[in-house]
Amino acid sequence: MKKNYRHTSFIFLFVLLLIFATTFSIISVDARKHHHNKKSKIHHKHKKQQKNGDGNKAPNCTNSPSPAPSSSHGFYPTQSPIFNILSFGAKGDGATDDTKALEAAWEAACKVQGATLEIPTEFQFLINPITLQGPCMPNFVFQVDGIILAPPKVGSWPKSSLFQWLNVKWMYNFTIQGTGTLDGQGYNWWKLSQIDYFQVMKKSKNTPDMKPTVLRFYGSYNVTIRDIKIINSPQCHLKFDNSKGVKINNVTISAPEISPNTDGIHLQNTQDVEIHHSNIGTGDDCISIQTGCSNIHVHHLNCGPGHGISLGGLGKDKSVACVSDIIVDSVNFASTMYGARIKTWQGGVGSVKNISFSNIQVSNVKVPIMIDQYYCDKHVCKNQTGAVAISNVQFNQIIGTYSTKPIHLACSNSIPCTDVDLIDIQLKPSTNYRGINQLGLCWNSYGKSQAPLLPSSMDYCVRRGSGLVRGISRSHEHVCL
């Protein structure tokens, strides 16, 4: 009897479970049907709203940003809104002026968190001098996959826009990236520098007395530039003024060797910079580091043609110059005028300190190692007492060939260079060597040398006893504290 009762109870429970499962399945199916019908109604309603009064579909707005969510929710869209310059009226034919379209696209993208302003591939956009101004919402990306062209005619540039072509101001957490090119079309500007400039000025009232930079940043923080090309600037290619937190990676900067004053990257009053895995070849310095710069790291770079990597010129017209904590390592210099160079004007004030050039390869470089405290860009400069103090500079593992002389250390008569170290320097004459003095010039520099040194006479290039003269240098450094 107990056995039959247990069997009956088991059957009863099984039936209850079967009924429950069947009921749940029916409810689920009904719920899915209800959701599908509701979704279809919403979709149908949305399609009606997309039509104009004449029955035509509304313009394609896929490049316009989605409405931003309420800030009270504390989140942003996971997909970045895309602002394509073509959606703002740009032609992209390389001849039509697309400046207004870029201005409109920038203004719209600037207001949206995580926006991307897109310069599409296979198009060329002629852009007149423009200021792209922030502050904008964070994580703004300027995606350059096409070509942006500067005006080719010198006379067409407004006189108020001769300092720079693309002027970026007050940006934070901003990135420029892509496979595209910024082309300064500087050929006509270079011609003016190669002929009698003053004769041209007499004949043409439209000839400017300065030349623009392709891309200039001012007052910007946490800026990243990667993968793009910047070519043929009338003057400097990429400049940072009064900025902080800059990362430049996998960038190509190029101009002919004969193009005058076309610095690759120019830094001034800018701190916390990393430049790496890039290729720079121009008619002037690959990288120029000016006053107010500190904590700069340059590594894994190819430089050439050009004038090498230079600190300065500093202290012009008795000005104050402060540069510190510069590291340059793993750089290849090929057929450049100089390699690692520090240059200051006579009569300047301030200091250059804590500088390291290491693991440098040079090939057919005229002067691989240089400190020049008598820098002058004229035929004659007036002799002056006083100089920017140079201390704690290390040249370590600089190896390769030179075409004029291996080293040039010309320190100030009144303020010697101190703690200048020459370590593992191995430099041989190249096949193009035309010099007569394989030692070079060494004057009033104090520090230490460490083998191997080639040529061996370089061992006498720095004098012992930095401690005796260090006080003289430090007395001129207080302005930088």
Q: Does the active-site annotation cover 284?
A: yes
Q: What secondary structure, in 3-state letters, does 251-282 show?
A: CEEECCCCCCCCCCEEEECCEEEEEEEEEEEC
In terms of C-beta density within 10 A (0-12 exposed, 13-18 middle, 19 or more buried), how is residue 133 classed? middle
**Residues shown for the chain:** 481
- Would you say 77 and 66 are in contact if contact means Cβ atoms under 8 Å apart? yes
Name the active-site residue from 98, 263, 284, 419.
284
Query: What is the distance between the alpha carbons of residues 296 and 287, in angstroms, rounded to a whole number?
Result: 11
Helix (H, G, I), strand (E, B) or coil at 179: coil
Name the active-site residue from 237, 266, 307, 476.
307
Query: What is the distance between the alpha carbons of residues 249 and 275, in angstroms, rounded to a whole number?
Result: 6
- Alpha-helical (H) ranges within 1-62 are 2-49
Query: What is the distance between the alpha carbons of residues 286 and 306, in angstroms, rounded to a whole number?
Result: 6
- Residue of 104, 106, 101, 128 lying closest to 116 (CA atoms): 106
Q: Where are the beta strands (DSSP E) in 88-137?
A: 93-97, 116-119, 124-126, 130-133
Q: Does the active-site annotation cover 478?
A: no
- Residue of 403, 408, 455, 458 lying closest to 429 (CA atoms): 403
> Read out DSSP for 388-455?
-EEEEEEEEEEEEEESS-SEEEE--SSS-EEEEEEEEEEEEE-TT---S-SS-EEESEEEEEEEEEES
Could you tell me the two tokens for 453? 């040194």
**Residues catalogued as catalytic:** 284, 307
